[in-house]
Structure 1
């Protein structure tokens, strides 16, 4: 339960919540009700409510169990590429001493890899730094590196991390292994951007299109709905005195327009900020549909 339980400004919005829950199965979970109530308190206009409803219906929502199925898909891909434990490392993109989704989800590879007896703990590297150390100690042992992330947003971060990995190997005069990139999910435009920049194929079983720009075919409709969302963000900026609603996170980080969430996990900053942004000033609090540290 959140620290502050909101109350509906308009009791009739209880019927709106029930309608949303009937139409959108994942909203039936009680954990989302405080955030949904708060969204209805914040956005009372007809056009605002219609846009909220449309976006929530398009939201790609996964349970942890569904997310783990994507790991099964990645392991199947690994086998189809004929990558073996004797010459392959699976490396999370996390930095040293960083709490990161790639590191957290890497753990779930164990269940599937354990069914193939040749894989062991050394095959899984929790950080880029640890993989460099392993390659330095045994430079001839590993011909293949799988760089693993849990979510690709704009594609810039994974591009930077792969290039940093390559640069560190070059600094140590180590031969560059074959690099493969796996991600559990990502923005379609971001995956495409990274593939072009790195000249590598990316295996990403769940790819998300932009929630407004890629959904509507009429340019004017796209323009109007994006303008409406920006106005909704501006309302929150004024209410909470929090510039982040309209800064680089407007429409999601760098305009990503993501509609994606895995239940009980940290929300990607690529998602529209009205669903997760919290004010940081003392004395300000906002119940959100999703949460992010």
Structure 2
């Protein structure tokens, strides 16, 4: 497993504890299969995805700095990985020297002031259910409606669930995801195998605390709203769309778990 997923070499204690929590062979097998299919980006992998976003903007869409503004999808008070994405795009390989610091906007709120551009690019690290992205697109359109501006709006992300991407695509002019992901169980097994594996995962979830720092476990069963995601990156905060067995920090008895991933 560590040959296929080198990041687990530094998680031997956590991995051993996770396997020990599986009381049934079927549970152990499921955990190992999910980890082997995990999309985990190391530093170069993340930067390659960033370059993929830049190439989508300049090659696929044929846009220049004069045509568009690129903004993080964040519009709240808390730190967000979308700001890392827009910041990292500054170091991408841009074909033109016209791209400069004013092309990269820190938040959606600041993006409203850039509505004079013909095109707005909203970037983020991850799309799960698509619910949040959909709300943010609606918010920016509502804000722009009062200005009379009607730019094209595109979304570009490092990784996204196929269902979420499909949901969001209806409300934008285009969407790009460097990594398109399927559900870890429902889309990966035969029809006869899906439900037994779902049941095995839910049985594992009964060992987790009813409430953690991300809220109630019921809300995160199989990942937030049943996302069944298998994605994270080095030095990153794992999306709560990922199966909680990999990141939920507390057991049913209140003791803390040593988890292979972190979600704060």
TM-score under structure 2 normalisation?
0.91
Q: Following TM superposition, by how much is the alpha carbon of 1:114 offset from its aligned partner in structure 2, in angstroms?
A: 6.0
What does 1:248-259 align with in structure 2 at a 5 Å threshold?
248-259=219-230
CA contact (8 A) 2:120 2:154 kept: yes
Q: 1:279 offset after TM fit, Å?
A: 2.8
CA contact (8 A) 1:258 1:270 kept: yes
Q: 1:263 to 1:241 in 2, by over 3 A?
A: same
* Cα deviation 1:123-159 (Å, max 9, x = unaligned): 1001001111344xxx3xx111101111000011111
SS at match of 1:89: strand
Q: Quick check: 1:234–1:245 contact (8 Å CA) kept in 2?
A: no
Partner Cα separation in structure 1 for residue 207 and residue 250 of structure 2: 13
Q: Is the 8 A contact 1:146 1:181 kept in 2?
A: yes
Within a 5 Å distance, the mapping from 1:1-293 to structure 2 comes to 20-22=1-3, 24-30=4-10, 32-80=11-59, 81-112=61-92, 116-135=96-115, 139=116, 142-171=117-146, 173-196=147-170, 198=171, 200-217=173-190, 219-236=191-208, 240-242=209-211, 246-279=217-250, 284-293=255-264
- Contact 2:210 2:216 survives alignment (8 Å): no
RMSD value, Cα: 2.1
Shift of 1:267: 0.3
Provide Cα deviations, 1:179-227, integer angstroms capped at 9, x if missing partner.
Answer: 111111100111011113x15321112011001100112x231011101
Question: Cα offset for 1:42?
Answer: 1.5
C-alpha separation in 2, matches of 1:113 and 1:101: 21
- Aligned-residue offset at 1:108: 1.1
CA-to-aligned-CA distance 1:261-286 (integer Å, 9 cap, x gap): 11120001110000011139997321
Q: 1:170: how far off? A: 1.0
**1:33 shift after superposition:** 1.9
CA gap of 1:260–1:215, structure 2 versus 1, over 3 A, is same
Distance 2:100 2:81 in 1: 21
Bigger-Rg structure (1/2): 1
More helix by share: 1
What number of residue pairs does the alignment pair up? 261
Say if 1:283 and 1:226 are closer, same or farther in 2 by CA, change over 3 A. closer
